[in-house]
Structure 1
Amino acid sequence: MWVAVCCPSATLAVWCAAWLHGAAASDNALDALHAWGEAHEVVAADPDTAEAFGIPLTGSVPAPPAALLTALRKRNAQDARLVLPVPGDVRGLGGGGPLAEAALRAGEVTTFPGIGYGVVPQPIAEGLMRWIVYPLASPVPAESVSLGEAENALTDAVRTSAGALQEMEVARERPGVRDELSARLRSAPRPDWPRGTPGRALRVLQRADEVGAILALALADEPGGAFSASAAGRRAEALRPLSDAVRTARVAAVSEAVRVLTDYADRHP
């Protein structure tokens, strides 16, 4: 199924889970990454990680992405999580350190808490994506929001934010905004998903993508009714819950997809 996805790390998390648990072939997992670039390479952030994964250190000739899959299986990785950190919220990254700093810069990371590592994507040039493997600074406790909770929270946040913006008169539609929104949605990468990915998770991802596109336009539209710095500040404050709800919905949808695909091994021993 083809559904827009928020980021490369979501693609990596879902396809790694599918491949590690026998629900997808490695070739299909690697092909899915092509939605984010024609070429991909993998390096380690530090010497210990390079040795543990059998991949080159940053600055050396990089390894192909297949080397990452091989290393994850050799290290018996079982879980994959999408984390979408923002300043003030780095939950899921084991505290600070190089991984948290890199993930904040990227706004995303795929973590493998069971083996204590995370992988951050870094666009290098047109069509080239580099994946950098970092160690987690400390163990990460399991925590998640159910897909139902996240979906309801997104719906509530849309309603609340829309009402607040209308009250502030900063939600007036400008000419061409619908075309801008359609163009933004059409341009989003649409990698394939593994067979068995739950339909509800994909629907929530699609809804979050739509709301995220609207949110991006609202935040970028400085002239759109924000007549003063204070009005712009109130608008940003009104939209913050919506931004948080979009992040939570995306993480919950990916977590649900990973959970279902991970269970594949138990259903098909």
Structure 2
Amino acid sequence: MGYPSMSLASWAKSWLAGEASPDDLVDALHEWAPLHVVRASDPVVAGRVGIEWPDPEIDGITVLIKTIRAGAGGTAGGLRLILPAPGDVRGLPPGTGFASAALAAGEGVLLGTGGAAGTGIVPTPSGADVLEWSCFDTPIPLAVDDETLGDIEYRLRAAVRDAADVVASVHRTAIANRDFDVRGAIEDELAELHHHRLPESLSPRARRVLDSADQLAAILTVAKTASVSSPTSLSANTIQDETLRPLWDAIRLARMAAVNSGDR
């Protein structure tokens, strides 16, 4: 699980569905940082979430939980994970402070009903021990679910096949550079991703999708590292952003679909 917003969204959905406790959500968030600070973008939002303006709430995890319950209307369906990237801003309310912050962070959570006003939350690390959550007043876009989780799983498998050339390039780098342990590097990346637990309430299919996304993400991360450490060994600049971007897009979409799906 590569994003604090994923932990927040997946565990909050499980809690709101009655399948996890608030303590489970708190424990999942504490795996990211021991201290959680909540900030409001303006006085209106500060009043909504129950903090003083303009001061942040230093020990804000209780405020965060209350904000989630109120903003989501007490239901798992009122919460949505967003993982935007440059060139792919689907799911973001255009021209909003939340959209700008979420795009800069690469993640965020929307609370509310599609087509109505709601709350957006964006995490930002502040040192090794602090995670700041900024709350925004924002319209909630209507969800567009054109694909089922089964469709997403199929597409992710295709993306893994498309990564075959990337994997081959990484292995060529390993042969050229005996100090580069490809298998060990991928295992280390996976261990880091799996450090953050998933709720038991997730369906087997959602877990498969997230596991496949993590495996592909680990491969691509190691591939990028290999291209930096030994770029001349990668024929025709195989490991380039334009090559990897569609694969990273597939990972992001798979993670959003698995967390946001009602298939639990």
Q: Please, what TM-score do these two structures have when normalized by structure 1?
A: 0.83
Q: Aligned residues, how many?
A: 252
Partner of 1:172: 172
- Measured in 2, the distance between the counterparts of 1:59 and 1:233 equals 48
Q: Deviation at 1:199?
A: 2.0
Residue deviations 1:116-149, cap 9 Å, x none?
A: 211111111212111111122x330111332111
Q: Distance in 2 between matches of 1:56 and 1:43?
A: 9
| 1:214 and 2:219 correspond | yes
In 2, the alpha carbon distance for the partners of 1:224 and 1:155 equals: 28
Pairwise CA distance, 1:253: 1.1
Equivalent residue number for residue 246 of structure 1: 251
User: What corresponds to 1:119 in structure 2?
Assistant: 121
* Contact 1:14-1:80 at 8 Å conserved across structures: no
Distance 1:39 1:170, change over 3 A: closer
Letter of the 2:106 counterpart: G
8 A contact 1:172–1:225 mirrored in 2: no
How far 1:245 sits from its partner (Å)?
Answer: 0.9
Partner of 1:132: 134
Q: State the 1:8 CA deviation.
A: 0.9
Tell me: CA distance 1:116–1:102, structure 2 relative to 1, closer, same or farther (3 Å).
Answer: same
Spell out the pairing of 1:248-267 with structure 2 (5 A cutoff).
Answer: 248-256=253-261, 259-260=262-263
Equivalent residue of 1:140, what SS?
coil
Contact 2:166 2:223 in 1 (8 A): no
Highest RCO, 1 vs 2 (Cα 8 Å, sep ≥ 6): 1
Deviation at 1:239, TM superposition (A): 1.9
Whether the 8 Å CA contact 1:93–1:100 is kept in 2: the answer is yes
The answer for the alignment partner of 1:188 in structure 2 is: 193
Comparing 66-75 and 103-112, the one that deviates more: 66-75
Q: Could you tell me how far 1:39 is from its partner in structure 2?
A: 1.8
Deviation at 1:63, TM superposition (A): 4.7
CA change 1:232–1:57 in 2 (3 A) is farther
Q: Does 1:66 pair with 2:62?
A: yes
Q: Give me the whole-angstrom Cα distance separating, in 1, the residues matched to 2:144 and 2:173.
A: 39
How many angstroms does 1:59 deviate by? 4.0
Aligned to 1:264: none
Contact 2:227 2:234 in 1 (8 A): no
- What is the Cα deviation at residue 233 of structure 1? 7.1
Higher deviation after alignment, 90-99 or 56-65? 56-65
Mapped to 1, the partners of 2:84 and 2:2 lie a distance apart of 13
Give TM-score, length-normalised by structure 2: 0.84
The question of 1:47 aligning with 2:43 is answered yes
* Equivalent-residue separation in structure 1 for 2:242 and 2:170 (angstroms): 12
Alpha carbons of structure 1 residues 236 and 172: separation in structure 2 relative to 1, 3 Å: farther
1:24-79, CA deviations, whole angstroms, 9 ceiling, x for partnerless residues?
22122111111111221222122111112212445444352111222333342532
| C-alpha distance in structure 1 between counterparts of 2:195 and 2:23, whole Å | 17
User: Is contact 2:173-2:233 (8 Å) kept?
Assistant: no
For residues 94 and 230 of structure 1, the distance between their equivalents in structure 2, rounded to whole angstroms, comes to 41
Structure 1 residues without counterparts, runs of 5 or longer: 262-269
Q: Is the 8 A contact 1:116 1:139 kept in 2?
A: yes
Q: Equivalent residue of 1:122, what SS?
A: strand
Contact 2:156 2:250 in 1 (8 A): yes
Among the aligned pairs, what percent are the same residue?
37
Report if aligned partners of 2:173, 2:230 keep a CA contact under 8 Å in 1.
no
What is the alpha-carbon distance in structure 2 between the residues aligned to residue 107 and residue 58 of structure 1? 25
1:265: which partner in 2?
A: none
Residue 23, structure 1, aligned to residue 19, structure 2: yes
- Secondary structure in 1 matching 2:232: coil
* Structure 2: segments with no counterpart, 5+ residues: 175-179
